Every structure is written in structure tokens, then in C-alpha cells.
Amino acid sequence: MPHPSPSRVRLLVSVRDPAEAALARDHGADLIDAKDPDRGALGALPADIVRAIAAAAGDRLSSAVAGEPGDADAASACLAALAGTGVGYLKIAWAPGREAAGLRLPAGLPVIAVLFAEDGPDGADVPALAAAGFSGAMIDTRAKDGRRLTDHLPLPRLAGFAAACRAHGLLSGLAGSLRLDDIPVLAALGPGYLGFRGGLCAGADRTGGLDPQRIAEAARCLAAIVPCVEAA
């Protein structure tokens, strides 16, 4: 599956059901991400709902979070549970420096490692992720307490992470309580995707419903920005 060019940062919208998937699809989402916002940062949805979300995504790429396992064996089981749902990517929480021995990635299905900003990830973590067989890496925030990604990590560190992903041929993403006004600053760092949930919901409540106008505005903002980075 081709990775987006750094000249085109794309919009990931997390959805909880097929109706939200259709809403995100129709208002400009590039990647429709199945997630249960009532179960924390990376709460996995049941396989049947993920399958329905993938179908509702239509011609848009889809992904699904597979949870926050404590080790490689648990991660393998979480990934296997969603491997047949029809999504284009799976995402799994992964701690910086975690031992990958025993990790079994689904054949033919790209997996994105999600690192939490609170753990202080940076570009130095990327080579091990590539060696473990991950197809991409993303930084998100574990605690959904109103603090944004940039409250945890400075821009130079985020830029280094995105650059390391490009250098190792990995898809990259940045997320974590992002708002619309984060788009110009973060898109300029050249990630493959910027990920949103709460910032596109009414009242910025990630457990509430998506606001179609906010989705469309995020898509317009990203379409107008060309990051000043060079492809690796």
C-alpha cells in the first residue's frame, strides 16, 4: 500500500460506528479510523463493528486500533482478532524500547505502532520499529485530559520523528487532542497523517458526535498546506 508523499499531509478521523464513518467519508477524511473513544486512547471496537466501518468507508482508506497490550504476545492476539475485518491498516500501542521478540504481525496487513507522547518518543525509536516489521509509526497522547500533543513534546522532536519515519520508509502520523489551529504547525513537519477525534466533535468532546463542518474545515486546511520538507 503506497505511503503518502510528504507534500500531501492527510486527514485521519477516528470514528466509532458506520454512521460516523460515512460522515467522515463524505466530508473529506482521507483515512477513517475505527476506535472506541469511551475506552481510552486506543480502545478497540468489536470485530463486527470494525467490519461495518470498513464497508462504510467506501473508497477511503480505513484503519482500526487494536488496543493497548502489555507485551508482544498480547499484541499479536489483539492484531489477530481484527485481521479479517477488511481495514487497510491496524494500529497497536507500542512502548518505546519494547522487546519485539514474539510479535506476530498479520500477513499482508500493514500495522502501525502507536507511541504515547507521555513516554517521550523520538526519531531514535523508529529504526527498531522498522526492524520489527511495522509499516508505520504514530505518536498520540495516552491521557485525554485536555493537554495536546505539543504540550508533551516540542516541535523539533516531532519533526525528528517524522523525518526518521521518512528515512526508514515508514508511514507517519501525529495525533493527540489536536485542534484545527494545530494543523498549520504540525503539517509543516511533514507527517503522513494528522489524526483527530475530539477536535472534530461538537464541544471538543471526543465521546460525543463528530461535527461535519469541523471535518470539512480540517480537510480544507490540510489541502491548502504544502509542508516544507524533503522526501527521504
pLDDT of residue 5: 46
pLDDT of residue 207: 85
Q: Is the pLDDT of residue 153 over 80?
A: yes
**Stretch (H or E) spanning 151:** helix 149-152
Q: Is the pLDDT of residue 227 over 90?
A: no
Q: What is the mean pLDDT of residues 106-126?
A: 97
Nearest by Cα to 218 from 13, 4, 23, 6:
13
CA distance 132 to 44: 22
Which conformational region is residue 35 in: left (phi greater than 0), alpha (psi within -120 to 50 degrees), or beta? beta
Contact of 189 with 227, CB cutoff 8 Å: yes
Contacts of 109 (CB under 8 A, 6+ apart): 83, 87, 89, 90
pLDDT of residue 226: 63
The 10s digit of each residue's pLDDT in 181-215 is 999 999 999 999 999 999 999 888 888 899 999 99
SS3 (DSSP) at 210: strand
CA distance 97 to 116: 12
Arithmetic mean of pLDDT over the chain: 93
Q: Is the pLDDT of residue 6 over 80?
A: no
Predicted TM-score (pTM) of this structure? 0.93
Distances (CA, A) of 220 to 11, 32, 180, 183: 10, 17, 10, 10
What is residue 119's DSSP assignment? G
pLDDT of residue 8: 84
Q: Is the pLDDT of residue 14 over 80?
A: yes
What are the residue boundaries of the structural domains of the chain, listed by start?
10-223
pLDDT of residue 7: 62
pLDDT of residue 228: 56
The overall longest dimension of the chain from CA atoms, in Å, is 45
pLDDT of residue 148: 95
Q: Is the pLDDT of residue 64 over 80?
A: yes
Q: What is the mean pLDDT of residues 45-51?
A: 98
pLDDT band at 168 (very low <50, low <70, confident <90, very high): very high
Domain 10-223 has CATH 3.40.50.2300: no
Q: What is the dihedral of CA 45, 51, 54, 58, to 10 degrees?
A: -150
As annotated, the active-site residues are 35, 91
Q: Is the pLDDT of residue 139 over 80?
A: yes
- What are 47's three cell numbers? 470485530
Nearest by Cα to 129 from 153, 96, 162:
96
Contact of 222 with 10, CB cutoff 8 Å: yes
